[in-house]
Chain A
Amino acid sequence: MLEIISNYWLTFLIGQYPNGPLGGLAMTMIVAVLSILMSFPIAIGIAMARLSAWGWLRMASAALSSFVRGIPLLMLIFWCYFVIPIMTGYAVSGFWTLVAALTIYEAAYLSEVIRAGMAAVPKGQTEAARSLGGGYFLTLRSVVLPQALFNVLPGITSQFISTIKETSLGYVIAVNELTFAANQVNNQLLTQPLQVFTILAAIYFLLCFLLSRGLSALEFSIRRKRGLI
């Protein structure tokens, strides 16, 4: 296994680059970070809509969120792969198809986590901000969201980790990411699939583990600073 790592570490890390397209862990990170960054504001928007005073907006956002959470991600990826070119008239690369599918999928799950966090902020917090003359958006931005997002940080961490792992499904539409790179290595070696895919698993695990530990360390230090422990 160490031999595989020493021979192919660069393929695992960046794919065929610079002799071919960028891939491997680097591409996995790019897809994951882009999807997370794009799904986050959408998720906040859906969560706001689900707690809105307008019934039609609550219903529409609940329907959207239930629909997306009710279909398999793989199906959503295929669906984006075939539908986005028809709808937009552009040939969209596998990369952007994957980012779009992950963004939609994660936004739906993340919105539920964020909605729970917003609903759990005590009503007195909103009343305090409103009684000082703060409007809806200022209250949301400065009082509700900072507390809500912080309180559901463990749930948000889980969704981030899911996103990282789900980038591996990009393999089915030939996105050059980490699983794709591992498969290329496996095709060259032919006889050691167990070792190659163990290395693949170890890389995903390390990445997710470090992210999870990093965010929980951040949470702990903020809690201590605010006197909440």
Chain B
Amino acid sequence: MTAPVIVRFDQVNKWYGQNHVLQDVSLEVAKGEVVVVCGPSGSGKSTLIRTINALEPIQKGSVTLNGTAVHGKGTDLNKLRQSVGFVFQQFNLFPHMSVLDNVTFAPIRIQKRPRAEAEALARELLARVGLAEKEGSFPGFLSGGQQQRVAIARALALRPPVILFDEPTSALDPEMVGEVLQVMKSLARDGMTMICVTHEMGFAREVGDRVIFMDQGRIVVDTTPELFFDAPDHPRVRRFLSDVRGEH
């Protein structure tokens, strides 16, 4: 693959006190790739993607986004964060704003775009996630799946070249997982660069370009979905896969 590298981890280390949560992590993600990060709980997956937009600081190594050192001294974080979308496990929609205001918040308040332009974009994005008729509703009236789809539209409103998903379906009732995955799959098919922490193995197999498996703060396996699922050669991966399949 000759597409330019968009996210690069170089020997990244992070500690929470004595707890070494990221250990010598090195990783490159190219433009247009869909990378699925999985692994047991506490393996550092969420921490890994939260370092990409500096929601988490690191102690050693470097993370580079679009050529900018994320944790560099002079980095304008507010500007950098506009070029990377983030979707949270708990949605984190703003409950005091309507759906439309949630989606136009960043374009209007942060990028200072004209309201009419921002609203036109927001309506287009809401239609894309299948929630055009909900623009006037408040998040409190929406189901979990609908809230997460609004959260995806909100992240897309900055037109970021990369979007990060932190267990986007883990807080959802089972019958709502599908609608969120469908939106994510359509994004992947449109060529969006995505890094997704998820346990949805069907999603990984269907649209993932690569699967990263983490354990105890290290990247243990970095391979294609076919090899990961059909010929797992690492014992830790085999145990993980049987645990995940056992749940369903």
> A residues touching B (Cβ–Cβ < 8 Å)?
122, 124-125, 127-135, 138, 142-143, 146-147, 150, 225-228
Residues of B within 8 A of A138 (CB): 109-110
In the bound complex, do residue A132 and residue B96 qualify as a contact, i.e. CB atoms below 8 Å apart? no
Closest B residue to A136 by beta carbon equals B78
Most B CB within 10 A of own CB, among A128, A134, A225, A226 = A128
Contact of B138 among A122, A133, A227 (CB under 8 A): A227
- Is A228 in contact with B92, judged by CB distance below 8 angstroms? no
**Would you list 10 pairs from A and B whose C-beta atoms are within 8 A, ordered by A residue?**
A122-B92, A124-B92, A125-B92, A128-B94, A132-B81, A132-B106, A225-B138, A226-B140, A227-B137, A227-B141
**Chain B residue nearest in CB terms to A228:** B140
- Take A147-B96, A228-B140 as given contacts and tell me if A133 and B79 are in contact as well, using a CB distance cutoff of 8 Å: yes
A129 and B95 CA atoms in complex are apart in Å by 12
Contact B82 A133 (CB under 8 A): yes
Closest to A126 in B: B92
Q: Which B residues are CB-close (under 8 A) to A128? A: 86, 88, 92-94
For residue B181, give the distance in angstroms from its CB to the closest CB of chain A: 21
Contact string against A for B residues 163-206, beta-carbon threshold 8 Å, 1 for contact and 0 otherwise:
00000000000000000000000000000000000000000000
Residues of chain A with a CB closer than 8 A to B53's CB: 131
What's the minimum C-beta distance from B150 to chain A, rounded to whole angstroms? 12
A124 touches B95 (CB 8 A): no
Check A130 against B109 for contact (C-beta < 8 Å).
Answer: no
Contacts of B92 in A (CB 8 A): 122, 124-125, 127-128
Shortest CB distance B89–A (Å): 9
B47 touches A (CB below 8 Å): no
- Find chain B residues with CB under 8 A from A147 CB: 94-96
- Given contacts A134-B106, A147-B95, A227-B139, 14 further A-B pairs with CB under 8 A are A127-B88, A128-B93, A131-B55, A131-B86, A132-B82, A132-B105, A132-B110, A132-B158, A133-B80, A134-B78, A134-B109, A134-B110, A135-B78, A147-B94
Measured CB to CB, the nearest residue on chain A to B78 is A133
**Nearest chain A residue, comparing its CB with the CB of B107:** A132
Q: In the bound complex, how far is the Cα of B140 from the Cα of A225, in angstroms? A: 9
User: Which residue of chain B is the closest to A142 with respect to CB atoms?
Assistant: B109
B55 touching A127, Cβ below 8 Å = yes
The yes or no answer to B90 lying at the interface (CB within 8 A) is: yes
A125:B154 contact, CB within 8 angstroms = no
Once the chains are docked, how many angstroms separate the CA of A55 from the CA of B65? 33
Mask for B202-244, Cβ within 8 A of A = 1, else 0? 0000000000000000000000000000000000000000000
Task: Return B240 CB to nearest CB of chain A, in Å.
Answer: 27
Q: Verify B138–A132 contact, CB threshold 8 A.
A: no
Q: Are B82 and A143 in contact (CB under 8 A)?
A: no
- The complex places the Cα of A142 from the Cα of B97 at a distance, in Å, of 10
- Could you tell me the distance in whole angstroms from the C-beta of B152 to the nearest C-beta in chain A? 13
| Chain B 135-150 per-residue mask, 1 if CB under 8 angstroms from chain A, else 0 | 0011111000000000
Complexed CA–CA distance, A221 and B110 (Å) = 30
Distance from A127 Cβ to chain B, minimum over Cβ atoms (Å): 6
Question: Do A146 and B78 touch (CB < 8 A)?
Answer: no
A142 to chain B: which residues have CB within 8 Å?
Answer: 105, 109
Given that A142-B109, A226-B140, A227-B140 are contacting pairs, would A133 and B95 also be in contact in the complex, using a CB cutoff of 8 Å? Answer: no
